[in-house]
Structure 1
Amino acid sequence: MPYTTLISANDLARHYQDPAWVVIDCRHDLTNPAAGAEAYAGGHIPGARFASLDTDLSDKSPGSNGKFRGRHPLPQPTAFVETLRRWGVNHSSQVIAYDEHGGMFAARLWWMLRWVGHQAVAVLDGGLPTWLARGLPLSKDVVTPVRGNVEPHSSLVATVNVDDVLANLNTPTRIVIDARAPDRFRGENETLDPVGGHIPGAKNRFFKDNLTTDGRFKSADELRSDFSALLISPEASIVQCGSGATACHNLLAMEIAGLSGAALYPGSWSEWCADPGRPVARGE
């Protein structure tokens, strides 16, 4: 059976050299975009490819209407599949994503593979710190993968656009869940959010609340209890963050909890607040 949510460091250690497995390093720093590639060059899980949030997992060009789509808008599915092929991903590949931030960025790649219909993808639970804590190896070698043959299939996830979120304000049928840190949600952090606040009616579920103190995900039962207190139902939920990346952490946590069906708003707060005509709430 494929791994479809999480994998432990011990399980990955048994398989990372398997040619049917593709390991991808997703390290990133929102305040220093070069940091991920620098960290990868300094040492990564042997055989891992590097995924840039800014260039591989996003396409920052405007929408077809010329409007800003947020800091990390999704690429076209065909372009992302081409990236997967470049990394050597085949239709039968088991893909593993990791970072050193509790899955903060690895979850974006997990969600995107599901977005193009590839189910065999999981996040390394605890990320690189857990790998290193077990004395497992790093490498500075950069692999040149054989081109993969993965093809897009029916999406396994749902999305909404800014018009859907705006319409939901007028006829609220869905709960918006914001994955940003509480100070950003309240509008108190201008470093990443020049326009502070949140979408009116949204609830805050900081992505780090999905983790235990050692940086691994909470149990399915704990996550189910946490999210059930926020939700009407998974299908009646819209998940967002600053730019559509860490929101995927909440979606992964919900999948672990057996609460599938919430939709990602890819543009998230960075798209929403770019139009001063859209309403903004502040505080709790």
Structure 2
Amino acid sequence: MTYATLISAADLAAHASDDNLLIVDCRHDLTNPEAGLDAYRAGHIPNARFAHLDQILSGAKTGSDGKFKGRHPLPERQDFVDAMRVIGVNANTQVVAYDAQGGMYAARLWWLLRWVGHVQVAVLDGGLQAWQAQGGAVTTEMPVATRGDLQEQSSLVTAIDAEGVLDNITSKAMTVVDARAADRYRGENETMDAVGGHIPGAKNRFFKDNLAADGSFKSPETLRAEWNALIDNPQTAIMQCGSGVTACHNLLALEVAGLPGAKLYPGSWSEWSSDSTRPVASGPQP
């Protein structure tokens, strides 16, 4: 069976010993980049590999044109495929990504694997907390990876660059949705980027609003109703956030809701706000 969006802790426990299943720990802390690896070393789901947000799930911050591409730009496709091979991902591997932050980092790995055409990837619903709550063990034993044979395939997802987002301000052909907390969207309490505010015309959907009180994703029906109230058509929607990470959480929620097709703006606010010629809006959502 292929898991392509979420997998429950119970299902992961039932399949943990499957030969083609590989678990990836994506824990991270934006204010302490080594916290995720430290947490992994202190205890992780048995046989899990580790994928660092800055080193594997992101690329160079400056492009070949010398422009800042954001705090977590996309890696080069082949670099990412090679990194996945190193941790053991094969063409037929069922990848399960998890973190301890509601899926905000695991969803980035989920999107990236779909970006290189790998459909068998899911996020552990409820993360490490759900795993431990149902009696799952953790270990400090470091698994030995056998190099995988993952090959780049046609992308299952789409991205849009800053120029495309800028053009959309005039055309209004697509709906931009900002995944940051409401105060940062309004331009208040900005701590990550030099400029506060949001892309003109963008709507706000804090990624944590995709989660229930227990940290698991809301039901597909609830997510569908909430997202349908925000956007008219996912096929003409752009997801962004601070640096292209939590926007992937909104993209995952849309898939869970049965509303696929939205685009990711990878550079997001960190790239957008670095160019003073790009317009900036502030204040509450209209």
TM-score bracket for this pair, using the shorter chain length: over 0.9
Residue aligned with 1:276, SS: coil
Q: Distance in 2 between matches of 1:17 and 1:195?
A: 48
1:184 corresponding residue in structure 2: 184
Give the Å deviation of 1:17: 2.4
Aligned to 2:68: 68
SS of match in other structure, 1:239: strand
* Structure 2 counterparts to residues 1-284 of structure 1, below 5 A: 1-284=1-284
- Summarize deviations over 1:59-110 as a string: whole Å, max 9, x none: 1241121110000000111110000100100000000000001101000000
Decide which moves more: 151-160 or 15-24: 15-24
Aligned length: 284
For residues 141 and 60 of structure 1, the distance between their equivalents in structure 2, rounded to whole angstroms, comes to 31
The letter of the residue matching 2:125 is D
Amino acid at match of 2:120: A
- Output the amino acid matched with 2:113: L
- Verify the 8 A CA contact 1:6 1:123 in the aligned structure 2: yes
Gaps of 5+ in 1: none
Q: Could you list the per-position Cα deviations for residues 201-259 of structure 1 after superposition, in whole angstroms to 9, with x for gaps in the alignment? A: 00000000000000000000100001111112111100000000000000000001110
Structure 2: gaps (5+ residues):
none
Output the CA distance in 1 between the equivalents of 2:153 and 2:38.
Answer: 33
* Root mean square deviation, CA, Å: 0.8
Q: Does the residue aligned with 1:18 lie in a helix, a strand or coil?
A: coil
Q: Does the Cα contact within 8 Å between 2:194 and 2:273 map onto a contact in 1?
A: no
Q: Is the 8 A contact 2:61 2:70 kept in 1?
A: no
Deviation of residue 171 (structure 1)? 1.0
Conservation of the 8 A alpha-carbon contact between 1:17 and 1:47: no
Distance (Å, rounded) in 2 between the aligned partners of 1:8 and 1:218: 13
TM-score (norm 1): 0.99
SS at match of 1:152: coil
How far did residue 194 of structure 1 move?
Answer: 2.6
TM-score after normalising by structure 2:
0.98
The CA deviation at 1:40 is 0.3
Q: What SS class does the counterpart of residue 24 from structure 2 fall into? A: strand
Identical positions, percent: 60
- Which 4+ residue blocks in structure 1 deviate beyond 6 angstroms? none
